[in-house]
Each structure stands twice: as C-alpha cells, then as structure tokens.
Structure 1
C-alpha cells in the first residue's frame, strides 16, 4: 500500500473542478524542464561531435608526439626512434623535415610549410591516405622532386596533378650579387584535403631525401613524429620519454601544439551548459508558482489532515511529491527526446534543411556535410540529475509554507 504522503501528493497532480489553471501551470513547468533537458543533451552531443571531428582532422595530419633536436636538426634520428619505441605506448614513428618556403606558379606565389616525409613510414603516424583527393602518398619518389599540396594551396596556385611549380627556400646560395634563395622546380603529384584550413592552405609534402638535398641537411632531419596507442596519454608519454631519452631533445605533444583549439571548444561547451541550464531553472520557478497556488487552494484539505493527526513533515512531503512528480516526468521526457535527437541528427537535420529550403552547414564553409554528434551517457546522467535536483529544491519553500498552516485559521471561514 502506498504511503499517505505519496498517495495524496500524486492525487494533487491531477486537475480537479477548481484548479484547472494550476494544472495548466504544472504542464508548462513540465514542458519547460523537458525542453531544457532536451536542448542540453542535443547541444552537448553536438559539441562532443565537433570536438571529436576536430581532433580527428588535426591528428589526421599532425602526430600525437614530436621529438626534435636543437636548432631544428636531429642527426641520430634512428637511435632516437628506437629509444622512443621502447615505450609501451608508442606504436610507430617516422622522421620528418620541416622548412618554410615560397611556392610559385607564374605570377601566383604562396608561402607554405614544406614537410619532407618517408611515404611508407608517414602512413603509420598520420592518416594522409584517407585525405588524398588526387594521387597517392607513395607517388613521392626520391630524386623525382614530386610535391603534394593541400587543396586550398593548390587552388590558390591554380595547379593540378602533373603541373610544374617552383619552390624557393630561404637557405640560399652565396653569389657575387649576394645571397640568393635556392630555387627548385617540382611536379605536383597529388592533392589532399584534411578539412583544416591551416593545413589545406599552407602545407606541402615532398620526399624526405629531396628535402635533405634541397636544404643541404645531409642525413639529418628536423625530428621524429610518433603515434601513440592512446592519444589521451600523450602528456604522460611526453614526460616519460623526457626522462628516458639520452640527449637534449624537444618534445611536443598534440595537446600542447593545438591547445587553443580544444580549450576554446571546452570553454564554449561549459558556457552552453550553464546558459541552457537556465531554461531548467526558469521551469523550476514555475514549479514554485504551481505549488504556492496549490497550497493556497488546498488550505482546507491541509487543515483537515492536520486535525486528523498528520504531522507538519507529512504535509511538507505531500507537496514535495507533487513538485517532484513534475520534475521527474519533465526530466524523463527531456532525456528521452534528447537522446533520440542526438542519436538521429543525421536524419533530423536534412528534414529541417528541406523544410527551411536552405543548407545549414555548407561544406565549402564548415568543411563538413553533416552535423557531428557524439552522445556521452555520463553527461546525460549529469543533466538528468541536475534537473531533478533543481526541481526538488524548487519544492522546498512552498512545501514548508504548507506545513506551517494553522488548522484553526484555515477552517475559520469554512
């Protein structure tokens, strides 16, 4: 058998002859909580999706961890790579050469980062193959001076696979006329699009041996790029390698080199959580209004219960049950709707686009053709729990007022 407080509290949630308006306010409060919870789940899932998409695109081109030497030159890279691979978290590694240069095609000139790579080894640390729009990474052959450009860079230079362009590097030749930049003609062998403007507009790949010849590095490289088994362990692996590597090296992981991107997303995510939580708070104020009106409407009922022996705590519990019912049902509806939308955004967004007659996320602007979404069940639990807590807190003052009603005063004019 249900306790008295629960039985009476649930009974008060149904509309009676005189309190249809109170019931309407209850429905509005329930809808507000459901809307707030749904918006929170969907927005945070989209933020999670953007964060994961951003991370995937960055790490598709950048390495989890980089080791470089003093003066951006590393002579014993094979020894360094062998030492690093003794760490259980390191999966693979590859040498690289980094330099700045100017690419020219006729009158069109663009600055770019020139990265020398070993195609076979580079595929083990970065996912360039997935981003190739024309050609293959293995088309880079030593001595043939081929070059792979980012899509935006290729468009700016108006070149296509098979076209020739000129690379100018600041490592110049000394002539009677002064220091002249080194100039070398390259053939475009491929084009990639990583979906990150920073890379697509300013990165060019050439073979490691061609880079060493062009920059007169001999057998030296700029550093070694590493891929880890678990990317989130990068800061810990960096500290471990700093202690185990013999020599003076600079270690940088992806959380340091791209910290601003992920810090910005994290801040936006927190602010969106707080802003959207205000919707739930406003709905909770409606619960307060509902219960205050219900207490006023039920004064005679409360007085009768008190004269029959009900304690003040029992009266308080009755109205807490009434308010909690609104909060629980609203949160349950919101969680159900939010989870459904978050898991089906790829279906819902195209429907909205067709109804609105516009493309919400043009691929040429956002580099994505669908809204990313990743549902985090721990966040769903947190949102549901916070919503219930706010709803319960909103019931305390009206319930306390109900428990303080004097039976004699309430029944004086009945």
Structure 2
C-alpha cells in the first residue's frame, strides 16, 4: 500500500491532536496503550512459560538423563552388560549407572527425608547440573572411601548443614538379626553444598560415590538403574527401541516424558490457555481502535466530502483511514515489545521490588519448583503476537475506513 504525498499529509494531520478535537486524540491514545499492554502481557507470559518449561527440562534431564533403564525389582545385577549394550545403541551419547533410594538423614538431632543418589566419581565431578552452582565446598572432594557427600542447598538449610558438618544416613532396611531388622546408619561429612535450581531436588538430594552408596544400601555389586542420554530427547523412544528389545524381561526403559508426563502436559495446556486469554486484550484494543476511528470519521465527514469533491478517489480515503488504524497498532506493538524486553531483562529485580513493596513472597520455590523467575523468548511466538496485533488493528480500521470511503459528498455538502 503506497501512499501519495497528500495522503501522508492528511494521515499526519489526523494522527496529531487538533484544537477542539482532543477527545478523539485521547481515544486514539487509549487504543495505543491497549495494544501496548496486550503485546507486553503476551510476550512476558509466553516467554516466562517457555523459560519455565526449558529450565525444568534442563534441570530434570541434566540430572536424570533422557531415559533410565531400571530392573523390574529395582536392581540391575547384570548392569555392566546392559551398560555396554546401551552405549552401543546408535543415537545414545552417554550412559552411566546410578543408585537412587529414599532414606533418612540425621544431623544434630534434626531428621529429614532424603533421596540418596549414588553416582560414579567421574559423573559427580563432570555433571554440569550438579556443578553449575556449588555454593560451598568442592565436588572433587566427594570421592569413594573419603566419607564425604554433597547435599542440596535447601536440605542443608533444613538440617543446618555446612561444609565439614557431620551427618548420618539411615537405611531402615538394615541387616536381619535374631532380634529383628536393625537399621543401618553410617556417618558422613558434608564435602559440598550445591543448588540445582529445582526446589524438589535441592531439598532432598544427597549425592555420594557409587561404592559408598552400594555399601550403605547393602546392594552388593548391583545398581538401581542406568541413566541414558541421547542425541534428540524428542525422539528418545525411537532411539532406544532396539535397546528395549535387548533388555526385555530384565529391565524396563522409562523416558523423561513418562517420568514427568503430568507436569509437562499441564504446562502445555496452561501455555495454550494463557495465549488465548491474553489475546483477548489485543481484541479489546482493536475495538478501541474501531470506536476512535468512527469518531474521527464522524468529525471529519465534511473534510472527506471536500476531498472527494476536488478529486480524491474512494481508494485514497480508504488507504488514509486504514493506515491510521494500522499505524496505531504498529506503534503500540513496537512499544509493547520494547517494554516487554526491558521487563524481562530486569524481571528478577522487578519481582524483588514488588515483594519489598507488598511484603509478600511472590516466587516461593517450594510452590513454583524453580528458585528464580525464568525467561526464554521464542522468536516465532513473538512474530505471531506482533502479527496478531497488527492484523487485529487492520481489521478494526476496515469498517470505519469503508464508511469514510463511501461518504457521499452531495449529501454532506448540500446545505453548505
């Protein structure tokens, strides 16, 4: 849609406030801010929800892999053969044995439920999720036979632990004696405190070398599962299908989708629902554009009639009012994107500021899983949001523009 010089001049004059017509300008400003708020809200909400899903996926998969191969009775006695078969499977990038068992911890009279995780020393020292944020100590101090373990930050806070603190791990399934089963209790020293960033993990995880975990759980040389990482987490079932056939009858393969199905499905449904609901804000803004343009057309009817009389085509009048409505939408969209980018950049500071003003904890990790407000803008979604805002603005301007273009100069100027 190309505009001539006089069309651009008229558009500029109609967009700017004129003496005696400030109300119309205010209505246009309201339309601008409505589009701005709609785009701002949509970009922020969708970016935060994308970030929430991405952070959860990175943390969960970074700690548990894309799938686990687990024995039917919770034990893999022939785990070395399974490990060799897993590593030989095309598409598998990494496979490592694990032991994971819920137990009890006792420190200075405080008792809490923990999830003991036995890992190879190499995996403890190189795991990016564990090593991403070590708050105290050093993971390299956690070695087999050293008696040192690593604990999550929330667990350390609950039990009052720090580096060097003694802690006892209690295994209720201890040894059988003539007097019954005696729980097995072994003392350890905290060698490192880590923060994964997922509250459920940080409040329960105790990481120790594989040999120490086997001794604590009296599991001999067996392990609980084998963690598998693949080249493509979305195709993990197809990649591990050959391995599933090889271990059939001995073990079962559980993918990350199956382990966290309810959580990620709920996020997907909420994401779609929020997009639809917040799009209504932009729709309301489009109705504001309709009302402001209708008022503009009504007040400019004489001007339009004069333009038609001196030779302006209906097409020109249509372009003028379509451009005015679309311009409001484009300017509001650009301003909304800028405001959303600023908000997302300073999102954590904004959250802390609101918490300070209200005295309320807006981001409780025990409820929201993650310790910080995440964000991951999706370029395609942002483009879609902008397209929706601009298309709604164009459609909103269409009816007033058609009414203006169909103005009959004879009827308007009859009594002039």
Tell me if both proteins adopt one fold, taking TM over 0.5 as the criterion. yes
1:125–1:227 Cα contact (<8 Å) kept: no
Determine if the alignment matches structure 1 residue 85 to structure 2 residue 87: yes
Q: Deviations over 1:139-183 (max 9, x none)?
A: 3443455433323333433444444444332434333333x1431
Q: TM-score, normalised by structure 1?
A: 0.83
Instruction: Measure the CA separation in 1 of the matches of 2:81 and 2:6.
Output: 75
| Structural mapping, 1:6-405, within 5 Å | 6-7=7-8, 8-87=10-89, 89-105=91-107, 107-125=109-127, 127-178=129-180, 180-190=181-191, 191-229=193-231, 233-245=232-244, 246-248=246-248, 249-307=251-309, 312-342=314-344, 344-345=345-346, 349=350, 356=357, 371-405=373-407
Number of corresponding residues: 409
Cα shift at 1:277 = 2.9
Aligned residues: CA RMSD: 3.5
Label 1:325 to 1:107 Cα distance change in 2 as closer, same or farther (>3 A): closer
Label 1:355 to 1:154 Cα distance change in 2 as closer, same or farther (>3 A): closer
The DSSP-based 3-state class of the residue aligned with 1:91 is strand
Structure 1 regions of 5+ residues with no counterpart? none
Structure 1 stretch 249-258 or stretch 95-104: which is displaced more? 249-258
Cα shift at 1:236 = 0.9
1:10–1:321 Cα contact (<8 Å) kept: no
Instruction: Measure the CA separation in 2 of the matches of 1:264 and 1:393.
Output: 34
2:59–2:129 Cα contact (<8 Å) kept: no
Instruction: Measure the CA separation in 2 of the matches of 1:263 and 1:323.
Output: 39
Label 1:371 to 1:103 Cα distance change in 2 as closer, same or farther (>3 A): closer
Instruction: Measure the CA separation in 2 of the matches of 1:348 and 1:202.
Output: 28
1:315–1:399 Cα contact (<8 Å) kept: yes
The DSSP-based 3-state class of the residue aligned with 1:375 is coil
The DSSP-based 3-state class of the residue aligned with 1:71 is coil
Instruction: Measure the CA separation in 1 of the matches of 2:371 and 2:145.
Output: 39
Label 1:286 to 1:91 Cα distance change in 2 as closer, same or farther (>3 A): same
Q: TM-score, normalised by structure 2?
A: 0.83
Structure 2 regions of 5+ residues with no counterpart? none
Structure 1 stretch 252-261 or stretch 358-367: which is displaced more? 358-367
Instruction: Measure the CA separation in 2 of the matches of 1:40 and 1:91.
Output: 37
The DSSP-based 3-state class of the residue aligned with 1:127 is helix
Instruction: Measure the CA separation in 2 of the matches of 1:351 and 1:174.
Output: 53
Cα shift at 1:385 = 0.8
Q: Deviations over 1:165-211 (max 9, x none)?
A: 44332434333333x14313221233333232212222222322233
Cα shift at 1:392 = 0.8
